[in-house]
Amino acid sequence: MVTLDDLQVRSLGTSTIDSPLALYVGGRETNEYYVGETDRILYDDTLELIAARGVPLEELPTFEAGGPRRKIFFDPATTRVGVVTCGGLCPGLNDVIRAIVLELDTHYGVRDVVGFQHGYAGMVESNGHEIVSLTPEYVARINERGGTILGSSRGAQDPGLIVDRLVELGIDILMVIGGDGSMRGAHNIGAEIERRGLTIGIVGVPKTIDNDIPHIGQSFGFSTAFAKAAESIKAARVEVEAAVGGVAIVKVMGRHAGFIACYAALANHDADFVLIPEVQFSLDGDNGLLSLLSRRVRERGSAVIVLAEGAGQDLIPASDRTDASGNAVLGDIAGFLRDQITKDFANRGQALTMRYFNPGYAIRSVPADASDSVYCTRLAQTAVHAAMAGRTDMVVGRRRHRFVNVPIPFVTSGSHSVSPDGDLWLSVLESTAQPFSMS
């Protein structure tokens, strides 16, 4: 069970320097739109959950509110900040980099910000990657581009060598933009810093296109990603409606969480079936996918299947291969389904025109849309506020429209996924008329 101790963010020490943003904070109290500096944000969001804990109010699990403080830990005049992007691409990476640099420069007066190229690999000197000076002029228009101007990479690096590099370069704060594995790496770097008795802050802006990091609300780039995926679903609908016995499979990202598949399907109601890792399905039997698909095509003339890449892995042989991050290489569920559907329709003597769409890399490499750009900016600003106030070993997030500071060990202790009993999956079933169970 989550406790108050689990949500305590570590600090490098007492903040004694007047913040340039003190006037923004002074005199403001908690209200509907703002959380006061010393106030905290409830972890639970219903009376029943709170009552079930049976603890006094002051012991309820709560998050530290994100935002500027009256006092800061680092002197802006002498502070040097490093920024690194790790893992796969995601819409909004450049927006986050840009907002970090502009917030540090414009509001805190921190002029010395550098970027490490190609993820954690760029932080190990022997790998030979040069650091980049990140000035307001350099980052001025990068938000108009997809990807990351710093490049990225997967795979772990030696925390000791990374800390050596931070010390050599005089880095006071490291801002890490990355996913679950990147945040584990950030925690290991922070542990090495603590072991050496150094005062270097580690603050993360969590990134996952699958939206599968828990306790941070929606991930940046996610809304852009599912909007682009929805365009492919719409195109698939047009294709199959023009064909005889048209069936389309639209494969989207989602190794362990089907959020992109669900939201993309809900965006335009063009999907007939949504297959996600969290909900098992069978191929055979009266209530299996093949029978239901055949029936849907006979009744409506066509069908669109939205397939998360991690769905149906129990139906195909497991792979023993892993990628650079240590993730198991998924089996080709899309190819398997295409073959099974083709054989089944042939056995039934039913006409079939198969179409396959895979927008995976396209949806993660585009620039962020306007909504995501705003979210990236606000997350980046919250991260800078926390870093300048001496917080470390933490990430920023948003819980029910409130920005929060969250310990890295807490967000990496589990995962976030679509609940088969939740209202999101119910909405998908309502939208598609897909049976509650396909087994």
Contacts of residue 69, defined as CB under 8 A and 6 or more positions apart, other chains included, come to 15, 19, 21, 25, 37, 385, 389
* Alpha-helix runs per DSSP H in 242-319: 259-268, 289-300
Residues 52 and 13 in one domain: yes
Residues 284 and 159 in one domain: no
253 within some domain: yes
Q: What token pair was written down for 16?
A: 């004694």
Residues 289 and 314 in one domain: yes
DSSP secondary structure string for all residues of 379-434: HHHHHHHHHHTTEESEEEEEETTEEEEEEHHHHTSS-----TTSHHHHHHHHHH--
What separation, in Å, do the N-terminal and C-terminal C-alpha atoms of the chain show?
33
Angle, alpha carbons 83-89-94 (nearest 5°) = 45
Q: pLDDT of 301-310, one tens digit each? A: 999 999 999 9
Residues 238 and 92 in one domain: no
Please report, in tens digits, the pLDDT of each residue of the chain (439 residues total): 899 999 999 999 999 999 999 888 877 888 888 888 889 999 998 999 999 999 999 999 999 999 999 999 999 999 999 999 999 899 999 999 999 999 999 999 999 999 999 999 999 999 999 999 999 999 999 999 999 999 988 888 999 999 999 999 999 999 999 998 999 999 999 999 999 999 999 999 999 888 889 888 889 999 999 999 999 999 999 999 999 999 999 999 998 999 999 999 999 999 999 999 999 999 999 999 999 999 999 999 999 999 999 999 999 887 667 665 566 778 899 999 999 999 999 999 999 999 999 998 888 889 999 999 999 999 999 999 999 999 999 999 998 889 999 999 999 998 899 999 999 999 999 999 899 888 8
Q: pLDDT of 35-92, one tens digit each? A: 888 899 999 989 999 999 999 999 999 999 999 999 999 999 999 999 999 998 999 9
Q: What is the mean pLDDT of the chain?
A: 94
Count CB neighbours of 337 within 10 A: 26
How far, in Å, are 259, 276, 288, 423, 439 from residue 428 at the CA level?
11, 11, 18, 9, 17
How far, in Å, are 60, 158, 197, 361 from residue 274 at the CA level?
38, 41, 51, 20
What angle, rounded to 10 degrees, do the helices at 423-432 and 259-268 form? 40
How far, in Å, are 91, 164, 396, 403 from residue 176 at the CA level?
16, 17, 11, 18
413 within some domain: no
Helix (H) or strand (E) segment spanning residue 376: helix 370-388
Q: What token pair was written down for 127?
A: 């790998």
Q: What token pair was written down for 314?
A: 């129990």
Helix (H) or strand (E) segment spanning residue 354: strand 353-357
Residues 122 and 210 in one domain: yes
Domain hosting 272: range is 223-365+420-432
Count CB neighbours of 125 within 10 A: 13
Q: C-alpha 215: how far from its chain's center?
A: 11
Angstrom distance (rounded) from CA 118 to CA 97: 14
Angstrom distance (rounded) from CA 232 to CA 5: 45
Query: Taking a C-beta distance cutoff of 8 angstroms, is the pair 258, 418 a contact?
Result: yes
Number of domains in the chain: 2
Residues 206 and 228 in one domain: no
415 within some domain: no
Angstrom distance (rounded) from CA 245 to CA 12: 64
Query: Taking a C-beta distance cutoff of 8 angstroms, is the pair 7, 43 a contact?
Result: yes
Nearest to 98 by CA among 383, 347, 343: 383
Catalytic residues: 210
Residues 393 and 426 in one domain: no
What's the DSSP call for residue 322? Answer: B
Residues 210 and 239 in one domain: no
CATH code (residue 25): 3.40.50.450
Residues 353 and 385 in one domain: no
412 within some domain: no
Residues 90 and 213 in one domain: yes
Q: What is the pLDDT of residue 108?
A: 97
Angstrom distance (rounded) from CA 411 to CA 395: 8
437 within some domain: no
406 within some domain: no
Angstrom distance (rounded) from CA 435 to CA 429: 7
Q: What is the pLDDT of residue 327?
A: 67
Angstrom distance (rounded) from CA 207 to CA 189: 18
405 within some domain: no
73 within some domain: yes
Residue type, 286: D
Q: pLDDT of 325-375, one tens digit each? A: 566 778 899 999 999 999 999 999 999 999 999 998 888 889 999 999 999
Residues 294 and 376 in one domain: no
CATH code (residue 330): 3.40.50.460
Residues 233 and 376 in one domain: no
